[in-house]
Amino acid sequence: MPIANMTWNILWSSTGTRTLEMNFGAQKAVGQVSLGQADGAGLCNSGIRGFRTRPSSTGAEQVTDFGDNFYNWPNTVFDEHLSGVTFAIALGSGQEGTAVCNIFQWS
């Protein structure tokens, strides 16, 4: 099965936790995040804060929220009807970092 489209964005923060929401038409897709760079002492984490699916074109979106605890954020999510992903980065004080946020959509 070939990848039909790939969309990416950079999430940057120097102020603690930030999120980036990427939305698209419901389809078979993967959301994936990786830490791009970090500066400063202490813990730095990137992950997926939540995602949305739309199993029926006439139905409501179903929301999955992994919560505020960054230890619960996965790095990858997949769904046959993925419609949006909320990426996140969490930093301590005096830190700066980026996360690379990818959406891979299959045909």
**Position with higher pLDDT, 18 vs 43:** 18
Q: What is the pLDDT of residue 2?
A: 84
CA proximity to 104, closest of 10, 6, 4: 6
Would you put residue 67 in left (φ > 0), alpha (ψ -120 to 50) or beta?
A: left
The CATH topology of domain 3-106 is Jelly Rolls (2.60.120)
- Bridge partners of 103, per DSSP, are 7, 31
Question: pTM here?
Answer: 0.94
Rounded CA gap, 87 and 39, in Å? 19
Q: What is the pLDDT of residue 60?
A: 92
- The answer, yes or no, to whether residue 90 has pLDDT greater than 90, is yes
Chain mean pLDDT for the chain: 94
Residues 44-71, mean pLDDT to the nearest whole number: 95
Question: Each residue of 58-70: pLDDT tens digit?
Answer: 889 999 999 999 9
- The answer, yes or no, to whether residue 57 has pLDDT greater than 90, is no
